[in-house]
Amino acid sequence: MQSWVAEAGSFLNGLCSTGTFLVPGEWDAYSAGMHGIWLLLLCAVVLALFGFVYLAFLSWPKMTPKKRIASLLLLAPDFLFVVCIAVSASCGHPPQGSRCFNTQFLCGVLIVFILPLPALLGTLVALGMFIHARFAS
């Protein structure tokens, strides 16, 4: 009975010390802080995206159909950003060469090199469209 309690205690200590709540059974100290960072980044991006979606909802009736479609396409990199962060965080620290590692690598390349500029520019242009449509009656 004591060995079970000791194992449960080490399990809980490992869970609390690494913060790997997104991937059960993952206890590598190498990626200990990354899961918290990914979660904070995901929350910040999702909150900002929800703000833009709310602003779009307010200005949607005043926009023409072409501007509605354009605004959705301009916000597409933001949605892809959220999907990449969630997929990357769900993989944990997989062994090199596995399918999850390759998926995580692709998501990392998208997040770091490809998506930031289109997401930033698309968000700013869409924000300008939403504000213009809302105040131009």
Distance set, CA 34 to CA 75, 95, 105 (Å)? 26, 16, 14
Locate the domains of the chain by residue range: 30-135
pLDDT digits (tens, 9 = 90+) for 90-119: 888 889 999 999 999 999 999 999 999 999
Give the gyration radius of the chain's Cα atoms.
Answer: 20
Question: What mean pLDDT comes out for the span 43-59?
Answer: 88
For 22-44, what is each residue's pLDDT tens digit?
A: 555 555 544 556 667 878 888 88
CA–CA separation, 125 vs 136, rounded Å?
16
